[in-house]
Structure 1
Amino acid sequence: MMSEIDFYANFAASSGEVLGLGVGSKPDEWTQKLGDRFDENRFSEESLSRDFGFIGLDFLPASDQWSCDLVSLKIHKLGMNIEGWDPVPEALSDTYGKFSDRVSIDALVEPLSSMGLTLLRVRSDQLSELETLWIPETRVEIWMVRDPDFASDRGKQVGDIYTIHHHSTSEADEERLHPY
């Protein structure tokens, strides 16, 4: 059985795919793969969001159909303890086993490197609780906890991954990138 680290590395290497689905997929395709337990939000006629536990999806209308525009792994939700709610869809736990409440970026560096992926820091002029990391080969962003107070308030540690996501229009300013 593959592990949760394999899942995160595969997500990063495949430009944000989950069980073969990613940007461009339709809502019904996600339901077929992940089941019918999801929260749905519509902020306007032009937007649709679905959360399958810790997997967040945004859809935009395209040719009279909804098309996935963003896939986000909200890893910070894995530590939430809500009675009757499992943040990991059954299809994922069947394939990858148990998912931990916390995932350190250190656990992901080696698998990403062995896949030929580059992990870069995105320099920010703003103070933030989260640091942005960028994988240029697949345009995947990782938000990592960097503030100790923010971390302790949420049961995390500095260096834990908060989210990993891929947006159809993700870009990074090359002048702001430097090695991890």
Structure 2
Amino acid sequence: MTPHSLAFYVDVVTTGTVLGLRPTDSPDRVTEVLGTDFGENSFSDHSMWRDYGLAEFFWDRASADQPWSGHHFTLQVHRLAYRDRTLANETLRARYGRFAPRLRFDKLQRLLKRRGVPLLEIPEIPGNAPYYRTFWQPDSQVSVSVVATYGEYSTPDNLRVGDVNSIQSPTTAAEVEWRRSRAGR
């Protein structure tokens, strides 16, 4: 993996942002930074997300006459395993260079640890265990989902045990406590 793409993931986990974009930023702000090359999806007048390939940003609102409120973003790291270099959008490639098809969790964790940025393992969402493990950075409220074992319908193609599946923000302290209470910890 190039040092530049590793730097991108370290930046995201450390800051809880993508190129400075917070999960709460508006659709217009995200477009201003990441550009107009995205797929837009919605379930209703109340939820929408924009898919930039690697990065997806999500919004919701109480009614159609209300502005969109940023909910979260997810980096779909597993998509890079299909070796489509365009999945890391042009803005990300201009800043960080070429993205490798896989992100090894142990490399990411080692770089973060050197910077004093700990990742704590938290219980997995019901239904994802034992196939995934989740690690959380409390200050930035970022979670990292890692392939733990293979499952016929649960593990993305082309990933290996120890590869990062996705990165998401925010994962709040309240959600972590909920996961812990569900896991009986």
* TM-score, length basis structure 2: 0.82
1:154-173 → structure 2 map (5 Å cutoff): 154-167=157-170, 169=172, 171-173=175-177
* Equivalent position of 2:46 in the other structure: 46
* Equivalent position of 2:4 in the other structure: 3
* Equivalent position of 1:14 in the other structure: 15
Q: Identify the structure with the greater strand proportion.
A: 1
* Equivalent position of 1:27 in the other structure: 27
Quick one: structure 1 residues 173 and 88, their matched pair in 2 at CA, closer, same or farther if it must change by over 3 Å?
same
Instruction: Output the amino acid matched with 2:8.
Output: F
- SS of match in other structure, 1:99: coil
Instruction: Output the amino acid matched with 2:28.
Output: D
Choose which of 130, 133, 147 in structure 1 pairs with 2:132.
130
1:17-166 → structure 2 map (5 Å cutoff): 17-61=17-61, 64-80=66-82, 86-124=86-124, 127-149=129-151, 154-166=157-169
Q: 1:148 Cα shift?
A: 3.2
Q: 1:18 Cα shift?
A: 1.0
Q: 1:79 Cα shift?
A: 2.0
Instruction: Output the amino acid matched with 1:146.
Output: A
Counterparts of 1:176 and 1:129, CA distance in 2:
18
Quick one: structure 1 residues 71 and 175, their matched pair in 2 at CA, closer, same or farther if it must change by over 3 Å?
closer
Q: Identify the structure with the greater helix proportion.
A: 2
Q: 1:168 Cα shift?
A: 6.7
Moved more, 115-124 or 96-105: 115-124
Quick one: structure 1 residues 175 and 101, their matched pair in 2 at CA, closer, same or farther if it must change by over 3 Å?
closer
- SS of match in other structure, 2:56: strand
Quick one: structure 1 residues 69 and 137, their matched pair in 2 at CA, closer, same or farther if it must change by over 3 Å?
same
Deviations 1:36-64 (A, max 9, x none): 11111110211011111110111122793
Moved more, 61-70 or 28-37: 61-70
Counterparts of 2:121 and 2:94, CA distance in 1:
33
Instruction: Output the amino acid matched with 2:164.
Output: I
Instruction: Output the amino acid matched with 2:143.
Output: E
Listed as ranges, the gaps of 5+ residues in structure 2 are none
Moved more, 145-154 or 67-76: 145-154
Q: 1:22 Cα shift?
A: 1.2
Give the 4+ runs in structure 1 shifted more than 6 A.
none
Listed as ranges, the gaps of 5+ residues in structure 1 are none
Query: Percent identical across equivalent pairs?
Result: 29
